[in-house]
Amino acid sequence: MAAKIIDGKAISAAVKEQVRAEIERDKIKAGLAVVIVGDDPASRVYVNNKKKACELCGIQSFEYALPAETEQNQLLELIDTLNADKNVNGILVQLPLPDHFDEKAVIERISPLKDVDAFHESNVGKIMIGNYAFLPCTPAGCMELIHSTGVDVAGKECVVIGRSNIVGKPMAMLLLHENGTVTVCHSKTKNLTEVCRRADILVAAVGRPNFVTADMVKDGAVVIDVGINRLENGKLCGDVKFDEVSEKAAYITPVPGGVGPMTIAMLMKNTLTAARIQNS
């Protein structure tokens, strides 16, 4: 039996509508500053989508597009200015930055209260102990997609493929907070197929096209595909071989239209949370 498709577009639209309704009801002023350095085409698409989402939700959007040759100290000065700006509740520096930047230093310069990506070390630590205000947008979006299936995470075998700071590690923590039994796999994992086949909930965030095949998936699993890869023919595909895995899984996210839209919806939610904290 073919898997049920988890519709990220519909779920993200519901999250954004909820944010818009709360902003309207509580008369909240929320502002998001997005900083983009250089002219990476993928980054430009993301930034434009963020602007559209802000407009939809009633969040004021500030864009700072800096040339690729901008110096590190200039970017840090801009962040200092935004940290002090009362109209800006969230600050997002679009990654990746050009090679001459120290990304870690840039992230650490953002005020933890305005770090709506939840990449700052203090926010990462709060996620670790379960006492957080913000969650990284992609893992938080994945959790919303899992919840939408009605499958309870508690007691389930959960496998995350990928251990990045942006997706893999925080994803594992969020599943753990909901009492999942979590295994994190990576390039050094032995018997990867066997480990994945145990998973009731499988999250693929490895960045390799069609990496997860049907023989790696348990019958009836929930499969969340975080990957977004462009093939030589220009088509987008995920980390999961969708056609064959969807024959075995109970629920699966498509690419595009799965996790992608959720990331921006959760960013809107984080910006609202930041505005509430700062205005209280």
Active site residues: 50, 94, 117
Q: What is the Cα–Cα distance from 6 to 253, expressed in whole angstroms?
A: 5
* DSSP 8-class letter at 224: E
Q: Supply φ then ψ for residue 208, to 5 degrees.
A: -125, 125
Q: What is the Cα–Cα distance from 123 to 133, expressed in whole angstroms?
A: 8
Alpha-helical segments (H) within 183-252: 192-197, 242-245
DSSP β-bridge partners for residue 35:
64, 93
Chain-centre distance for alpha carbon 108? 19
Residue 144, classed as helix, strand or coil, is: helix
Q: What is the 3-state secondary structure (H, E, C) of 184-202?
A: EECCCCCCHHHHHHCCCEE
Written as six digits, the tokens of 267 are: 């960013």
Q: What is the Cα–Cα distance from 54 to 272, expressed in whole angstroms?
A: 11
